[in-house]
Amino acid sequence: MTQQAQIIQGSIVAIVTPMFEDGSVDWKGLEKLVEWHIAQGTNSIVAVGTTGEASTLSMAEHTQVIKEIIRVANKRIPVIAGTGANSTREAIELTKEAKELGADAALLVTPYYNKPTQEGLYQHYKAIAEAVDLPQILYNVPGRTGVDMLNETIIRLADIPQIVGIKDATGDVPRGKELIDGLQGKNMTVYSGDDATAYQLICLGAHGNISVTANIIPQQMSQICAAALAGHAEQAEALNNQVANLHNILFCESNPIPVKWALHEMGLIGNGIRLPLTPLAEQYRTPLREALNVSGVIK
């Protein structure tokens, strides 16, 4: 296993991109968030993933957000750059930029909307791995992209040296267990991408959780992951049960609408979000506020 893959484990926050009301990026707010995560025990940061509104940032902003997070983190914790695209050429370009900026790894979502075949997925990731000498983590989230990368395709990709991980956001624990078993002896680490079931997958052999909930409760998520990684399944479950409602309600509308509203409610970021995403609907605000209160982050 590569050195980079070894050090990326535990609670990995898919960090939001703070914005002002006019939708411009709040660079000072981003710096403050990164410092807060490091102080709270977050183990690694994903820059400009889905939660970071990658799909509505310009190419220049995309690069600048990655650069700023790497600058602030200053090698204290690893930074994984979101560089996926539904164009293989664009994904290669973004991944090259992430390497030049000093990212520890890249996270590459399956090409969305154009719905490639399993062979197309294999060739897409193979092309990126051969073009850029940077550890790469695949990202399968069929509920969001409209394409599902099958376990056999992932296992096949594990033979490519630069491909060191997979974020499994299916939420299907038995399927995740099959994947972990199928990767035995190969140079690929599994990460959960589903907060509600992450501790279960870690207890089965995954190395961490690429998390939305960690934006709100970084310390608790780090503790859950640490307990699961240590094999303390009952402790991990008990800790997770305390915040289970938060996992669910943070997806009452499309991510990152609820999590950005929650962070604004906590006083950590402004209320900016970019169209076509809109601020959290009124009917969800009281339930989310109550979940934040139960979790102890607001009073």
Contacts of 226 (CB under 8 A, 6+ apart): 10, 11
Q: Residue 277 pLDDT > 90, yes or no?
A: yes
Query: For the residues 131-146, what does the mean pLDDT come to?
Result: 96
pLDDT confidence of 7, banded at 50, 70, 90? confident
Burial of 89 (0-12, 13-18, 19+ CB in 10 A): exposed
Cα gap 109→169, rounded to integer Å: 10
Our answer to whether residue 139 is catalytic in this structure is yes
Domain positions in the chain are: 3-232
1 has pLDDT over 60? no
Give domain 3-232's CATH architecture.
Alpha-Beta Barrel (3.20)
Position 299 scores a pLDDT of: 81
Q: How many CA atoms lie within 13 A of 172 on its CB side?
A: 13
Q: Is 67 a catalytic residue?
A: no
Q: For 124-153, what is the mean pLDDT?
A: 97
Do 169 and 194 meet the contact criterion of CB atoms below 8 Å apart? yes
Check whether 40 has a pLDDT greater than 60: yes
Q: Mean of the pLDDT values across residues 154-176?
A: 97
What pTM, to 2 d.p., does this model score?
0.96
Residue 136 pairs in a beta bridge with 106, 163
Q: How confident is the model over 9-25, as a mean pLDDT?
A: 97
Q: Which of 67, 99, 167, 260 is the catalytic position?
A: 167
For the segment 49-76, what is each residue's pLDDT rounded down to a tens digit? 999 999 999 999 999 999 999 999 999 9
Of the pLDDT bands very low, low, confident and very high (cuts 50, 70, 90), residue 3 is: very low
| Structure-token pair, residue 163 | 């491909």
Q: Is the pLDDT of residue 89 over 70?
A: yes
Split at pLDDT 50, 70, 90, the class of 289 is: very high
Token output for 216: 């709100």
> According to the model, what pLDDT value does residue 2 have?
42
pLDDT digits (tens, 9 = 90+) for 211-269: 999 999 999 999 999 999 999 999 999 999 999 999 999 999 999 999 999 999 999 99
Instruction: Output the six-digit token pair for 254.
Output: 């499309």
Neighbours of 116 (CB within 10 A): 17
Give the pLDDT band of residue 6 (cuts 50, 70, 90): very low
Catalytic residue (one of 139, 191, 199, 260): 139
